[in-house]
Structure 1
Amino acid sequence: MPLPLKSRLSLVADIGGTNTRVALADGKVLQEGTVRRFRNADFPGLETILRAYLEALPDVECGGACVAVAGPVAQGVATMTNLDWTIDGPTLTRATGAEMVAILNDLQAQGHALGYIAPENLRPVIGQGEPDPIAAKLVIGVGTGFNAAPVHETPWGRVVAASECGHVNMPVRNEADLRLAHFVETAHGFPGVEDVLSGRGLERLFAFVSKEAGSPSEATAAAIMGGLANEAEGGFAPDVARLFTRLLGAEAGNLALTHLPFGGIYLCGGVSRAIAPYLTQMGFEAAFRDKGRFSGFMKNFSVSVVEDDYAALTGCAVYLDQGTQG
């Protein structure tokens, strides 16, 4: 497919803890065939990645650039949570030559993508009819890390508030959860949500479950999910997945009561997509609604998994396009 006029192109990037995805967009639409994935460990910083991407497309001139970053953004500067990179506007301008640049938290980008994701890329987990399109929504990211962001429609446009809620206390419902909290707090001195609900969280849950069973062992997140897919050889994997699902349901329920997203909850990120086929059978809905006298109230919220791996890139394109139109 031929690229559109240079003046209409923008560069968008999704920078995770492990990989960076880069693409070109025409307005709100990603350009087919332009998405490239880079392994962060192979590069000293984002500027080098963006230069390498554009050098492979010598005829491209960027009118704007927007990146989504897995970490907090304050005063136009992003600090990666799980990577030793700092990103700011001058970095994007040097790398791309774009006059208009923007930096979003990765969950903010996911929030801006809502409404622009194909229906076939949304997997229902809990349904309650058609959500109110103008009501508040919530995106929850579970991947290398954990985070969430509320999405609000206002007369002045969409507002997606940033947060770092992956670093609040993990949910504790029973004595086993309390033992788990003490087990995981040895890593950072604090039992955070991200310590149990993320890729490395899966690995810590495996270590905990195997220790509780009297046979301490370790496994990678990929091996755990592989064992789950082949339950006959899964070992502790099914028990780990059930624990993960219960904790995810509990935390998603906590966030639902905090933000009241009557427009729907959207789980995104690599771990969310990997465990999506098992959420129903492993009790996600029961854990989500386990809120005592508010259990019935929890029926007001729908939950879906975003299976579009490029949703954050679309969100960057939407955000940048809205800025140019404003």
Structure 2
Amino acid sequence: MAMLLGDVGGTNARLAIARNHVIDEQTVTRFRGDDFTSFDDVVRRFLQEQDQPRISSMCIAVAGPVGGGKARLTNRDWDFDEDRLARLTDADQVRLINDLTALGYATPALHGDGLTVLRAAPEGRARNGQALVVGLGTGFNVCAVRALHGGAITAMEAEEGHTHLPANIYLRLAELLGADAARRFSSTEETFAGRGLSRLHAARTGGAPVRSEDIARAAEAGDPQAVATYDLFADLVGHLCRELALRFMPLEGLFLAGSVGRSIADRIDVFERGFLAEPLMRHIPENTPIFLIRDDMAALHGCLAALS
């Protein structure tokens, strides 16, 4: 029997087969979303390429909200339905989960080159079996993780990106950019996803918005305006993660993920200043290690763990 695993974003879908609770890396296949009209068509193509294996169970991580056995991509007009996928694959079990939830399930398996320690916690620190994944990329979301007895974990769904921006960060933006500019940063996602970096740079410089990737390249080349924007952004991410550390108390670790998260890793000293800036309850962020998820297979490993 085979387990079908998938990690589906707005640009690409990655599918794989696991047998005996181990992913067969020879089966890992990436499909461009632009080449297909639906995710069901991706599954049909993949199963055909894999000689129609008998699928016993299936778990798909979706970059979008999931509920009631259904999901829809945030950045592509694809919908997902557990019952429909069960009929398509003849699987006995089908589960749809958010992509951040998949990363949450993957955290115990992350190691080696797939995980970088950005900030180690003090020796002998308090532990509580709780972790948090913070996804900064095209969108923004978090996943709280709790270790259970017997080695199992639970990964909890959230829509943190659509919460209102914390007041301390909003006031900081208003002080630096002016009240009118600060009003454009109303939600957490609008401020801390990739487009938030683009908006921040435009508000700082008074210019037209440019892609976050272009700002990153300009900062790497030493452009002073891009460097200043990225430093401010990293500082604000540190302040946000301080708020999240108090909200979720992830003393096992706060795991950054996503393209924007990877760019923050190069400014961990600036991030840390924001993370530890507030004296109130400072012992919580002080005792929280910070990691960066680098494993491209992490969501697939999370899907496998979610079926176990």
TM-score (norm: length of structure 2): 0.89
Aligned twin of 2:37: 44
What letter is aligned with 2:251? F
Change in 2 beyond 3 A, CA 1:28/1:265: farther
1:265 partner SS: strand
Aligned twin of 1:280: 268
What letter is aligned with 1:288? F
Change in 2 beyond 3 A, CA 1:256/1:24: same
Aligned twin of 1:112: 105
Aligned twin of 1:148: 142
What letter is aligned with 2:130? A
What letter is aligned with 2:103? Q
Residue 181 of structure 1 and its aligned partner are, at CA, apart by 7.5
Is 1:136 the counterpart of 2:124 in the alignment? no
Aligned twin of 1:75: 68
1:265 to 254, 265, 268: 254
Q: Confirm or deny: 8 A CA contact 1:18 1:144 kept in the other structure.
A: no
Residue 85 of structure 1 and its aligned partner are, at CA, apart by 2.7
2:212 to 217, 221, 229: 221
Residue 176 of structure 1 and its aligned partner are, at CA, apart by 5.0
Q: Confirm or deny: 8 A CA contact 1:184 1:195 kept in the other structure.
A: no
Residue 145 of structure 1 and its aligned partner are, at CA, apart by 0.5
Aligned twin of 1:289: 276
Alpha-carbon separation, structure 2, partners of 1:181 and 1:162 = 33
Alpha-carbon separation, structure 1, partners of 2:126 and 2:34 = 42
Residue 27 of structure 1 and its aligned partner are, at CA, apart by 4.0
Is 1:163 the counterpart of 2:158 in the alignment? yes
Aligned twin of 2:181: 183
Alpha-carbon separation, structure 2, partners of 1:112 and 1:297 = 23
Residue 191 of structure 1 and its aligned partner are, at CA, apart by 1.2
Residue 301 of structure 1 and its aligned partner are, at CA, apart by 0.7
Per-residue CA deviations over 1:117-145 (Å, capped at 9, x if unaligned) read 22332111221147777611111111111
Change in 2 beyond 3 A, CA 1:53/1:263: same
CA RMSD of aligned residues (A): 2.3
Alpha-carbon separation, structure 2, partners of 1:319 and 1:174 = 37
Q: Confirm or deny: 8 A CA contact 2:169 2:236 kept in the other structure.
A: no
What letter is aligned with 1:145? G
Residue 74 of structure 1 and its aligned partner are, at CA, apart by 1.6
Percentage of identical aligned residues: 33
Aligned twin of 1:314: 301
Q: Confirm or deny: 8 A CA contact 1:209 1:239 kept in the other structure.
A: no
Alpha-carbon separation, structure 1, partners of 2:164 and 2:119 = 25
1:248 partner SS: helix
TM-score (norm: length of structure 1): 0.85
Q: Confirm or deny: 8 A CA contact 2:264 2:271 kept in the other structure.
A: no
Alpha-carbon separation, structure 2, partners of 1:126 and 1:267 = 11
What letter is aligned with 1:279? R
Give the stretch that moved more between structures: 267-276 or 247-256: 267-276
Per-residue CA deviations over 1:173-194 (Å, capped at 9, x if unaligned) read 47551247853755xxx71111
Q: Confirm or deny: 8 A CA contact 1:181 1:191 kept in the other structure.
A: no
Change in 2 beyond 3 A, CA 1:219/1:235: farther
What letter is aligned with 1:314? H
Give the stretch that moved more between structures: 295-304 or 32-41: 32-41
Per-residue CA deviations over 1:157-187 (Å, capped at 9, x if unaligned) read 311110000111224447551247853755x
Change in 2 beyond 3 A, CA 1:61/1:32: same
Q: Confirm or deny: 8 A CA contact 2:139 2:161 kept in the other structure.
A: yes
Is 1:230 the counterpart of 2:221 in the alignment? yes
Per-residue CA deviations over 1:220-261 (Å, capped at 9, x if unaligned) read 122122222222xx3532122112211211111111100111
2:280 partner SS: helix
Give the stretch that moved more between structures: 124-133 or 58-67: 124-133
Aligned twin of 1:22: 15
Alpha-carbon separation, structure 1, partners of 2:224 and 2:36 = 37
